Amino acid sequence: MRKILLVGLVAALALVGAACTGDDESADGESAGGGAEAAVAELAEEQTAADDEAQPVAQRSGGGGSLPSAGPRIVQTASLALSVPRAEFQQTVDSARSIAAGLGGFVVSSSASQGADRRLVAGTLVVRVPGRAYAQAIERLSDLGRVEAREESGQDVSAEVVDLEARARHLEAVERQLLQLLEEADTVAAALAVQSELNGVQLELEQVRGRLRHLDDQVAYATISLDVRERAPVAATGGGGPWGIVDAWSTAAHGFVTVVGWMLVAAATVAPVVLLLLLLYVAARLVARRPLLRRPSA
């Protein structure tokens, strides 16, 4: 697409040079148009060479490309789920912050939620630490509580970095040539045509540079998501302390209500049978007394 635009630019510059009238003006226009045309033609040739350079490494090496000499570029991410004893949530979060800061990292985001007693009992902390300290950070964060879940992943972006660097070099070469051509343009039409092409090249170059900066940041710092939650309290087995007494009374009250409920259910189930037996008993008594009532008097 960029080669087509350059060919169109050559044609436009040629038309501008041919349209100039007058002896001196015609000579100047032909000179300017010829110089611009030659510069654009040279730029097209350099772009062709730069396109070959910008091809992926695997294609230029016949499908057997290698990683950059600096080594693989790995984006490391992990998530940890920890459970901690009661009333230790805030202390655990503070310890995780200190670990990240001590390793040269920082906190990206954090969130927490309250429990029934209006204390913070669960939350998530996202930290970033230098890639070289990733293993140490995972080990130290895992020691803060009981690990309930753990997930790690790594993404190799080496090939993408190599291709982006090649594209950046290619676009920088095109930008230099267009800037030189813009300085040599003698007509408004030629300058506008070159400036339009230059704007597109510079925009694409900034996009490539931005993507490279983002990948460099992701490789330099690993991302760890830490989910911390307090464990449910265990019922007290002894009578020591006021919290044990409260839990005991709560358990006793719950058991009493349960027993009363089952008693009501049993009574409601047996009541019809008891009522039927009572009616049968009364009927039997009445039948037993009827012969005595009919016996003649002496």
Q: Tell me, what amino acid is at 211? A: R
C-alpha 124/C-alpha 89 separation (Å) is 11
Per DSSP, the residues of 275-289 read HHHHHHHHHHHHHHH
DSSP state of 297: P
Classify burial at 141, counting beta carbons within 10 Å of its beta carbon; exposed 0-12, middle 13-18, buried 19 or more: buried
Quick check: 67 and 116 in contact, CB under 8 A? no
φ and ψ at 6, to 5 degrees? -70, -40
Tokens (6 digits) for 51: 């396109």
CB-based contacts of 131, cutoff 8 Å, min separation 6: 74, 76, 219, 220, 221, 222
Closest CA to 132 of 224, 219, 226: 219
CA distance to 83, 85, 151, 255, 291, per residue, from 98 (Å) = 19, 20, 22, 46, 100
pTM exceeds 0.75, yes or no: no
pLDDT in tens, the chain (298 residues): 444 444 455 444 444 444 443 444 444 444 444 444 455 445 545 554 545 554 444 344 333 344 444 578 999 999 999 999 988 999 999 999 999 999 999 999 999 998 888 888 899 999 999 999 999 999 999 999 999 999 999 999 999 999 999 999 999 999 999 999 999 988 999 999 999 999 999 999 999 999 999 999 999 999 999 999 998 765 555 444 455 566 666 777 777 878 777 787 777 787 788 788 888 877 887 777 766 555 555 4
For residue range 234-291, list pLDDT tens digits in order: 555 544 445 556 666 677 777 787 877 778 777 778 778 878 888 887 788 777 776 6
